[in-house]
Structure 1
Amino acid sequence: MVVRERIMDAARKMFRSYGVKGVTMFDIARDCGISKKTLYEHFEDKQSLISESMRELLDDHIRFNATNQTDSANAIEEHMHQMQFIRSKARTLNPVMLYEIEKYHPDTWKEVVSFKTDSILYSIKENLRRGITEGLYRKNLDIDIVARMRQLQLEAAFDPTHYPADQYEIHNVMDEVTTHYIMGISSPQGQQVAYQYLHIKEEV
């Protein structure tokens, strides 16, 4: 692995584990086993590392969304695959990282905000349209309202002010809100399909 890749790998792991504020360039250099001088030869400052790390995270999600729709058998499976993808990222992502980027790194946060609208919100709306067409979601859904509601649910799951990390596991929060969301928007036919993906039993 070349030096630049080693630096990015170390920075990405440290930011996701500890947040961005408390991680210094010295910490990253030490973790890589290089000098600060070598680190600065590859990256101008910590901001450049933060920006690139976040861009990689967002681009990875965009690439996944591009293939998920065609690879999924139906709208519910598509949505569940997306949640599995987000859960896999959440396992190695400290919510404090996003909170600190929003608070201390506004330029990087602008990219996150654009991603929320251009990718997340768009994919939720497309999934709702697909589910309605397939008869799995209720036909009377207001797509704009429901999509925004779902987006807010996902954002809240990663917000430590709503679900403090010392009290809640992100994957448990996401499981609960996803079950609530899917069962709420599904038609009777869709609920039967949802049982298979949500691993819940129909109440008798």
Structure 2
Amino acid sequence: MPVRERIMETALRMFRMYGIKSVTMFDISRESGVSKKTVYEHFRDKEDLVHEGMSFLLNGHMEQFKNFRQHSANAIEELIRELEYMELLGKTVNPVMLYEVQKYHPGIWKTVEDFKRDCVLSSISENLKRGIEEGLYRNDLDAAIVARMRQLQLETVFDPAQYPATAYDLHEVMAQLTQHFILGITTLKGRKIAAGYLQIKDEN
């Protein structure tokens, strides 16, 4: 692995575990197995490293969403695969990291907000369009409203003020919200397909 990638991967792992503020450039150099001087040869400062790291993460998420869209049998499967992916993210990302990006790195946080608007919201909208075309989602949905509702719903999952880890299990929160969302937008045909993925009883 190239030195630059190793440094970034190490930094991201440490940021996810400990937050950003408590991790120093020296910590990153030591964990990466390179000198502090080498770290600064590749990244101007910690702000630059955080910015590059977040851009790398967001681009990775974007590619995952595209992959789910291209390789899922239908819109519901795509939605379920995204759910599983976000659950994994929730288990590996320390909420402190996101809080610190928002508080101490406003320029970088704007990149995150742009990602939410341009990628996440767009991905949800595309899924809704696909589901309607496949006859799995109701055709009377206002996609713009429903997509925004789903985006806000997902954001609350990762907000410790709404679902503190001491009181709620991430998997159960994601499962309940997604089940509620899917059953609210699906047709009878879609609900029958969803029942298999969600392992719920079809009351119809």
**Normalised TM-score (structure 2):** 0.91
Q: Quote the residue 2:175 is aligned against.
A: 175
Q: Quote the residue 2:69 is aligned against.
A: 69
Q: Is the 8 A contact 1:77 1:197 kept in 2?
A: yes
> Which of 25-34 and 91-100 deviates more?
25-34
Answering whether residue 16 of structure 2 is matched by residue 16 of structure 1, we say yes
Cα distance in 1 between the residues matched to 2:13 and 2:170: 18
Unpaired stretches in structure 1, ≥5 consecutive residues: none
Cα distance in 1 between the residues matched to 2:116 and 2:72: 22
Cα distance in 1 between the residues matched to 2:47 and 2:165: 25
* Deviation string, structure 1 residues 99-124 (Cα, Å, up to 9, x no partner): 21111111111111111111111111
Cα distance in 2 between the residues matched to 1:164 and 1:124: 25
Q: CA deviation at 1:203?
A: 4.8
Cα distance in 1 between the residues matched to 2:189 and 2:17: 41
* Deviation string, structure 1 residues 128-150 (Cα, Å, up to 9, x no partner): 11111222112221111111010
Q: CA deviation at 1:56?
A: 1.2
Unpaired stretches in structure 2, ≥5 consecutive residues: none
Alignment of 1:91-170 (within 5 A): 91-170=91-170
Q: CA deviation at 1:169?
A: 3.6
Cα distance in 2 between the residues matched to 1:141 and 1:64: 26
Quote the sequence identity (%): 55
- Aligned positions, number: 204
Cα distance in 2 between the residues matched to 1:96 and 1:170: 16
> C-alpha root-mean-square deviation of aligned residues, in Å?
1.8
**Normalised TM-score (structure 1):** 0.91
* Deviation string, structure 1 residues 155-204 (Cα, Å, up to 9, x no partner): 11112222223333433322221111111111122111111111223358
Q: Quote the residue 1:43 is aligned against.
A: 43
Answering whether residue 26 of structure 2 is matched by residue 4 of structure 1, we say no
Answering whether residue 181 of structure 2 is matched by residue 185 of structure 1, we say no
Cα distance in 2 between the residues matched to 1:19 and 1:171: 22
> Which of 152-161 and 62-71 deviates more?
62-71
